[in-house]
Amino acid sequence: MSDAILETTGLGKRFGAFAANSDIDFSVQEGELRAVIGPNGAGKTTFFNLLAGVTQATDGEIRFRGERITPLRAPRRVARGIAKAFQTANIYPSETVLQNCRLAALARVSGLFAFEVFRSSRRLVDVDGIAHEALELVELEPLAGVRAGDLSHGDKKRLDIAVALATKPRVLLLDEPVAGMSLDEVRKTDGLIRGLAKRMTVLLIEHDMTMIMGISDSITVLHQGKILAEGTPAEIRANARVQEAYLGGHTEGHL
């Protein structure tokens, strides 16, 4: 029996005749920081959506901690311990930073988004504690009372990560966490991800190759919806097939 925390066998997603993902055999160990890279259109976001239950697979299986979760929708996977932060921050802009995290924390306290949980004072304390802890992890606690829509781009992205963290995940999926950030924001988020990887399994999609090569334990390369290569950053950097598919034959120095 595999000791992977999350794994797939023959995983695929078809949209009509188009296969966005196909025949993906993938596994990640508990505590691992795994990057998933590939050229635009390689199927990276579809793959993450399949893992998170945002999109349902048309082929193959997904197992989490040895349990088959393929048919489960996203809320049920959140309750089991898989959370995804989105490419575009998925927040409530008219609510405060704290309220965004409080709403997400309901998934941890009640199992699903059940708003009647607020009627219980004990559970309300639980929700608030989880929400504040998530904000502290991403260094947004000082902005807890700020309207989410008024945050900077980088802080919105970090809030989206905090919302995912408020569900107390065992596996955290990050889809382009530094996209559109300034250099200072990238450095701050790099440090955040390194810290989170000490607490949970982290999978991330990112195009910042400097960050990916410096932060990852291992890398999976997708190309045309399939796994092209897997290995350490050094192995991926030196892989001729990756250079050809990802960079059109440019040298490894560009990775």
How far is Cα 164 from Cα 129, in angstroms, rounded to an integer? 15
pLDDT at 89: 67
Q: Environment class of residue 225 by beta-carbon count within 10 Å: exposed (0-12), middle (13-18) or buried (19+)?
A: buried
> What is the reported pLDDT for 112?
45
Which pTM does this prediction carry?
A: 0.89
- Which of 133, 168, 203 is where one domain is finished? 168
What is the reported pLDDT for 104? Answer: 87
- Please determine, for residue 255, whether its predicted confidence score (pLDDT) is greater than 70: no
Provide the pLDDT for residue 113: 45
pLDDT at 125: 60
- 65 in the same domain as 124: no
Specify the pLDDT at position 249. 44
Final residue in a domain of this structure, among 147, 168, 189: 168
Tally of structural domains, the chain: 2
Question: Considering only CA atoms, which of 160, 167, 96, 102 is closest in space to residue 131?
Answer: 102
Pick 252 or 50 by higher pLDDT: 50
**Phi and psi torsions of 188, nearest 5°:** -65, -40
- Its sign, for the CA torsion 98, 101, 103, 109, is negative
For 217-253, the pLDDT digits (tens) are 999 999 999 999 999 999 999 999 998 887 554 444 4
Model pLDDT, residue 110: 58
Tell me, yes or no, whether 153 and 183 share the same domain.
no
pLDDT digits (tens, 9 = 90+) for 202-220: 999 999 999 999 999 999 9
> Residue 90: what pLDDT?
78
Q: Which of 74-78, 118-122, 146-150 has the lowest mean pLDDT?
A: 118-122
Cα–Cα dist 20/24, whole Å: 11
Same domain, 72 and 103: no
For residue 64, count other CB atoms closer than 10 A to its CB: 20
Q: Please check the confidence at residue 109 and state whether its pLDDT lies above 80.
A: no
Segment 34-49, tens digit of pLDDT: 999 999 899 999 999 9
pLDDT at 2: 64
pLDDT of residue 244: 85
| Domain residue limits at 94 | 89-168
Instruction: Tell me: pLDDT of 1 over 90.
Output: no
User: Do 187 and 246 share a structural domain?
Assistant: yes
Average pLDDT, the chain: 89
Q: Rounded distance, CA 174 to CA 41, Å?
A: 17
How many angstroms separate the Cα of 136 from the Cα of each of 143, 145, 178? 10, 13, 19
pLDDT at 127: 86
C-alpha 175/C-alpha 55 separation (Å) is 15
* CATH number assigned to the domain comprising residue 223: 3.40.50.300
116 pLDDT higher than 50: no
Average pLDDT over residues 16-25: 96
Q: In this predicted structure, what is the pLDDT of residue 108?
A: 63
In order, the DSSP letters of the chain are ----SEEEEEEEEEETTEEEEEEEEEEE-TT-EEEEE-STTSSHHHHHHHHHTSS--SEEEEEETTEE-TT--HHHHHHHTEEEE-SS----TTSBHHHHHHHHHHHHHHSS--GGGGG-HHHHHHHHHHHHHHHHHTT-GGGTTSBGGGS-HHHHHHHHHHHHHTT--SEEEEESTTTT--HHHHHHHHHHHHHHTTTSEEEEE-S-HHHHHHH-SEEEEEETTEEEEEE-HHHHHT-HHHHHHHHTT--GGG-
What mean pLDDT do residues 21-29 have? Answer: 98
How many Å apart are CA 201 and CA 64, to the nearest integer?
Answer: 12
Tell me: the pLDDT tens digits for 160-190?
999 999 999 999 999 999 988 999 999 999 9
Q: Are residues 73 and 20 in the same domain?
A: yes
Residue 54 tokens read as 């945002």
Q: What is the mean pLDDT of residues 113-118?
A: 46
Q: Which of 168, 183, 199 is the last residue of a domain?
A: 168
